[in-house]
Structure 1
Amino acid sequence: MTGTLISLISIFTGIIAANLFGHFIKKYSFGFTGNTLVGVFGSIFLIKSFGRLGIDPRSIMNDGNFDGFLLAINLGVSVIGGIVGMIVVKLIKNKMN
């Protein structure tokens, strides 16, 4: 796996998490397109924030040696980023109304 593929899998995981969260908790849903956009940006923001702690794709590959534990942490943070993004965007939307 390359760093780019790991990044794409991580973003895709955030998209899936945001859409599932919006599907099961209708209060936070913005439709498929809105959930997808929030999932992308939420997962990217959180992965970039926590990437400095060693869960970025470069650290996962570690000179050609794959680290599955770091990948699992990366995907978990991406899921959390998608869900937190949905909650934050809903709070912002409520404040604007």
Structure 2
Amino acid sequence: MLQINPYDIDMLKNINEKRAWEIISVFLEHNPDMCICKSCILDLMAITLNSLPPCYHSEEHNISAARNKVSDEEIYRKMKEASIIVKSRPRHD
């Protein structure tokens, strides 16, 4: 079998994604009207992350692309915008 990428991509982490998962609990505390079913939470995160620049970090060498790191406030604001979309078009039953 042809091996194109011999590197372990699990060593790359998107810092903005990690931070968004940390912020979501605070967001949900302040937005009790947000549905917390699996579909709505995953949609909320997908829309939020798609609106943020990626900021990948190599765990092996602790190198990060700090120029793409956004503030917690910006992540929260993007999450708020995403929640409006999810609430207007929920995909759950």
Partner of 1:4: 12
Number of residue pairs the alignment of both structures matches: 77
Give the aligned partner of residue 21 of structure 1: 27
Q: Per-residue deviation at 1:34?
A: 4.4
| 2:81 corresponds to 1:84 | yes
Q: Work out whether residues 44 and 83 of structure 2, in 8 Å CA contact, stay in contact via their aligned partners in 1.
A: yes
Matching residue within 30, 34, 47 for 2:35: 30
Distance in 2 between the 1:26 and 1:16 partners? 17
Q: Which residue pairs with 2:55 in the alignment?
A: 57
Q: Provide structure 2 residue ranges, at least 5 long, that are not aligned to the other structure.
A: 1-10
Q: Secondary structure at the match of 1:31?
A: coil
Unmatched runs of 5 consecutive residues or more in structure 1: none
TM-score, normalised via structure 1 length: 0.50
Instruction: Flag the structure with larger Rg.
Output: 2
Q: Distance in 1 between matches of 2:22 and 2:75?
A: 10
Contact kept? 1:10, 1:75, Cα under 8 Å:
no
Q: Secondary structure at the match of 2:51?
A: helix
Q: CA-to-partner distance for each residue in 1:45-66, whole Å, 9 max, x for gaps?
A: 102xxx3xxxx436x89xx975
> Normalized per residue, which structure has more strand?
2
- 8 A contact 1:14–1:39 mirrored in 2: no
Greater helix share, structure number: 1
Computed over aligned residues only, the root mean square deviation of the Cα atoms, in angstroms, reads 3.5
Contact 2:55–2:65 (CA under 8 A) maintained in structure 1: no
